[in-house]
Structure 1
């Protein structure tokens, strides 16, 4: 079982509400055996780095057996590990080593679909009389003018029809993602039982502490399979009532194992009343959800059609989900990076060398003072950036990126006008890819300035190219630099822990919401209050603390030479109503790296916060 044995109740203070979760993309985290691919042992070897951040749990993106068409989100066996990552025994060791350090372990729960190489699908497609014939969603073809057509107009999130023809069964099967990822049929009770046992109970019995739930909003489909309206292409399979029923069944299973954490993807959901049906404590379905209105502002995960946005545009959804818990029994999350979105410093601030450090620290301040459970993605703690603009498209590995590029650049003619059109589409496609491709978050973690950033010693190099800026941005260098982004994250996470009521649970309201350059807000909890000021520009800005906040004390800023009435580029400030003293102390042995390549590194000072009476 997990570490906790308390069943969650409405409005109860649970461990995961106060937690900071560190997400790991296994392929790109750390390679321990020189094959160019990250692995479980690499994670085990790096646990001291993770612990040094002050986080409470790790979340592993899929590590299960997979053909890797969608880089692990096409699972062919829930009870086996992708061979290059390691073995079941390695995972058991990881769970044990994490628990020994006080870290909880979360896995990805990917059960909207499986791989087409899963034994279940192979049986299902073998014949329409097989026992598993209804474990996936099969439908006969439509015929128009003698031509075979899919059952309806549903579109895949990766482009094209969501239906694929199978010659053996002589029917179409549904795949909301790639053709290699057939959707399972939740109307089949045998399928439900099998998934619960194989994907959930199997791992809970090994001691994991929770799940991130993939694509939870699209599990159930309208069984009349109507054409989707052009105005809402996902309407027939988005947030159907049956999905809530399934999540309740899953939560019933989880409750037998104690206070298991769950966080699910809301997808493009912007309606908080629907969100509350998922995450309201009294509903007993999901602990919290990821909203993508903030992280994906200006585009959607299913489209590369990027539109410009302003800070005022960003403020609106950010506040909506910060205020989501007020007066409700729901819970919320804070993240701007994960495996599906680009690097936050590149997208929301600046990765220019003159501003990158200040900008990454400013975004860190916004994260740690935000309401809800905080999620930190690998490499974010050192301010890793998007892929350089000069990289060719061949360096991009993600299926959605490659399909988008192909759709924008493929031509069947060679006329001059067509050539010019293709050239224009190539420029537009690459401009959008440079902004939001999922590949940006999947480059290998930059550990040091040795070959391949210390990620691998493979003579063939890593599975994906390391960002060129690893010499300037890496863990080893930032461990030795007291003013680094890494040290700042450690300091702020410790600060969040001291102020956990105020930051994670406090009420949120803007000060001067209409300001298009500065984001400032107040957090309040009981008699505590704090003012957060964030300059989102690369320019100096005149700033005066509002009169009713001038009795507050400056607690933290990212500039050592702060100027009272001037906000410097990407400056952040935190003012608090309770004066505190910051006392440095030496790091403990638990935070020392023990690998030979890092043995000479010294961790930056952590901080103890002492209240002054």
Structure 2
């Protein structure tokens, strides 16, 4: 099996707007990341993925790019980025940035030119259509829905035409059939790699192709959302092979594609198998929603479907066991907070440590999302105006249309799923605004920062933060480094509704990882195993009696074992 530097790395995702505000204007910035690199080095990560910091109108928090070659002014300057890369590399930390391929902002010069006239040289950079006539009225070319609600087409009066936009109205989709578009994006990538970037997380990479423009048969919704119209279609792989040959391979960089929750195992292998010649690995979201989130309005009613979660992990671990590599992540900037999704509010420390162990002992490259390591939680939204995220507002409107007389319910539903939960200000200390800024943040600031923050956990050996640090040390520097990184994964007792148990095996070494997803006292028969060492645990002691392991609430233990015949 090939071995790459990123297989032996631990990543940390940074959402720059909410990470740290160095100039105290209420918004995080590039210098803020620079100032916190020593903290990240202390934590032990050696790879950071930074969400978009390109120049942008910020309709979708930077994923609507106005200029690929410049930095959003409130985040800083290109010089700040260069200084960040230099310091990170000096600490042995690689820097990966978001590469946005599917769309631009409607304020991008290409689009401004594109909409001027039908014969403009930039017209074919985007997906334009004249529309169709229905009952003597011009309507959208198709009834396809957008991810952010409504039609995936937007009408433009200037040329009496529609452009496709599967996200926001202000984010027109690029036309990847046009070789000029492909070359433009290759040039963008080369420019950033020459600047010193070590790779890319590729946003919405599965959406670069489009199906034939035929209406979806659906009597229920005016604009039904059907992922198959613009997700994981054949030509995406052609485009990625071109990018790999022209850009990724010559620079030998890390590339992580975002393929969402609709990519099959077979599709994922096409993207990131060792012989795919496309990407290094792909993020999927299959494990993000293994609970009853979409059926409740009260967060205390959340219940994890442990068997479903285990089967999801097992499916992906088996698929990439020998001919590919996976990133490991509980969440990113688009999901609710881990502690609010799978943790337990009565046992935050125990459940938080268990969740960390369960993920970090698997095969793959782990990614920690900012604040995950201290147990940050969802934000208590009280008003629709608290939402900064365009999709959260769209969800609220959609839910309100279903029950117009119950805006409280609509707010609760949108709040539970909101992407803004992961985008609140990082909680550095118990000081005003959580130490994020000296000024009131322009983003939400969770009021539990006095209880949950970095400063209070740094020197507490029993803290969640230091549990993450111990897990990272185990993976990167310990005698167990090779087995944790490259060992085989084998899940045990997959139908158990409370325990997630798996082994990691390399040569004659075996690790047994036991994680309880229950607050109840549980037992597990250990008579088949000879314990040779306790590698890490979230309790100070272990209760083993007559070869029976007694597990307390959310207990998690990693044993080194020898298996009895």
Q: TM-score, normalised by structure 1?
A: 0.86
Quick one: which of 366, 377, 381 aligns to 2:373? 381
CA distance in structure 2 between the aligned counterparts of 1:176 and 1:520, rounded to whole angstroms: 40
CA distance in structure 1 between the aligned counterparts of 2:43 and 2:11, rounded to whole angstroms: 10
CA distance in structure 1 between the aligned counterparts of 2:291 and 2:120, rounded to whole angstroms: 46
Matches within 5 A, 1:172-321: 172-198=162-188, 200-222=189-211, 224-228=212-216, 233-255=226-248, 257-297=250-290, 310-321=305-316
Q: Partner of 1:363 in structure 2?
A: 355
CA distance in structure 1 between the aligned counterparts of 2:252 and 2:519, rounded to whole angstroms: 44
CA distance in structure 1 between the aligned counterparts of 2:414 and 2:144, rounded to whole angstroms: 25
SS at match of 1:448: coil
Q: Partner of 1:572 in structure 2?
A: 556
SS at match of 1:559: coil
Counterpart check, 1:468 vs 2:447: yes
Quick one: which of 78, 97, 109 aligns to 1:119? 109
Q: Partner of 1:79 in structure 2?
A: 69
Q: Does structure 1 retain, via aligned residues, the 8 Å contact 2:392–2:418?
A: yes
CA distance in structure 2 between the aligned counterparts of 1:423 and 1:365, rounded to whole angstroms: 44
SS at match of 2:286: coil
Deviation per CA, 1:456-504: give whole Å up to 9, x if none. 011xx00112111110111111012111111111111101223233223
CA distance in structure 2 between the aligned counterparts of 1:228 and 1:378, rounded to whole angstroms: 39
Q: Does structure 1 retain, via aligned residues, the 8 Å contact 2:71–2:78?
A: yes
Q: Partner of 2:528 in structure 1?
A: 548
Deviation per CA, 1:95-125: give whole Å up to 9, x if none. 1111111111001011100000000000000
Counterpart check, 1:403 vs 2:398: no
Q: Does structure 2 retain, via aligned residues, the 8 Å contact 1:478–1:487?
A: yes
Report the alpha carbon displacement of residue 522 of structure 1 after superposing the two structures with TM.
Answer: 1.3
CA distance in structure 2 between the aligned counterparts of 1:423 and 1:67, rounded to whole angstroms: 34
Counterpart check, 1:343 vs 2:324: no
CA distance in structure 2 between the aligned counterparts of 1:218 and 1:324, rounded to whole angstroms: 23
Deviation per CA, 1:394-428: give whole Å up to 9, x if none. 222111001111222259xxxxxxxxx4244x344
Q: Partner of 1:332 in structure 2?
A: 326
CA distance in structure 2 between the aligned counterparts of 1:33 and 1:373, rounded to whole angstroms: 33
Q: Partner of 1:597 in structure 2?
A: none
Q: Does structure 2 retain, via aligned residues, the 8 Å contact 1:288–1:331?
A: yes
Q: Does structure 2 retain, via aligned residues, the 8 Å contact 1:279–1:288?
A: yes
Return closer, same or farther for 1:121/1:308 CA change in 2, 3 Å cut-off.
farther
Q: Which runs of 5+ in 1 are unaligned?
A: 1-10, 412-420, 580-613
Q: Partner of 2:221 in structure 1?
A: none
Report the alpha carbon displacement of residue 317 of structure 1 after superposing the two structures with TM.
Answer: 0.9
Report the alpha carbon displacement of residue 539 of structure 1 after superposing the two structures with TM.
Answer: 2.5
Q: Partner of 2:470 in structure 1?
A: 491
Q: Does structure 2 retain, via aligned residues, the 8 Å contact 1:137–1:183?
A: yes
Tell me whether 363-372 or 269-278 shows the greater mean CA deviation.
269-278
Q: Does structure 2 retain, via aligned residues, the 8 Å contact 1:552–1:576?
A: yes
Report the alpha carbon displacement of residue 313 of structure 1 after superposing the two structures with TM.
Answer: 1.4
Quick one: which of 429, 432, 435 aligns to 2:410? 429
Report the alpha carbon displacement of residue 371 of structure 1 after superposing the two structures with TM.
Answer: 1.1
Q: TM-score, normalised by structure 2?
A: 0.93
Q: Which runs of 5+ in 2 are unaligned?
A: 219-223
Return closer, same or farther for 1:433/1:321 CA change in 2, 3 Å cut-off.
same
CA distance in structure 1 between the aligned counterparts of 2:505 and 2:235, rounded to whole angstroms: 38
CA distance in structure 2 between the aligned counterparts of 1:16 and 1:74, rounded to whole angstroms: 28
Return closer, same or farther for 1:55/1:45 CA change in 2, 3 Å cut-off.
same
CA distance in structure 1 between the aligned counterparts of 2:36 and 2:334, rounded to whole angstroms: 23
Counterpart check, 1:563 vs 2:537: no
Alignment: residue pair count? 547
Deviation per CA, 1:260-317: give whole Å up to 9, x if none. 000001112352111111111212100000111002335899xx9x996511111111
CA distance in structure 1 between the aligned counterparts of 2:422 and 2:31, rounded to whole angstroms: 21
Q: Does structure 2 retain, via aligned residues, the 8 Å contact 1:398–1:438?
A: yes
Counterpart check, 1:100 vs 2:90: yes
CA distance in structure 2 between the aligned counterparts of 1:126 and 1:143, rounded to whole angstroms: 23
Quick one: which of 457, 462, 477 aligns to 1:478? 457
CA distance in structure 1 between the aligned counterparts of 2:114 and 2:193, rounded to whole angstroms: 27
Q: Does structure 2 retain, via aligned residues, the 8 Å contact 1:30–1:42?
A: yes
Quick one: which of 382, 388, 407 aligns to 1:391? 382
CA distance in structure 1 between the aligned counterparts of 2:290 and 2:69, rounded to whole angstroms: 36
SS at match of 1:294: helix
CA distance in structure 2 between the aligned counterparts of 1:436 and 1:164, rounded to whole angstroms: 26
Tell me whether 47-56 or 536-545 shows the greater mean CA deviation.
536-545
Return closer, same or farther for 1:381/1:309 CA change in 2, 3 Å cut-off.
closer
Return closer, same or farther for 1:71/1:242 CA change in 2, 3 Å cut-off.
same
CA distance in structure 1 between the aligned counterparts of 2:423 and 2:229, rounded to whole angstroms: 32
SS at match of 2:142: coil
Q: Partner of 1:150 in structure 2?
A: 140
Q: Partner of 1:592 in structure 2?
A: none
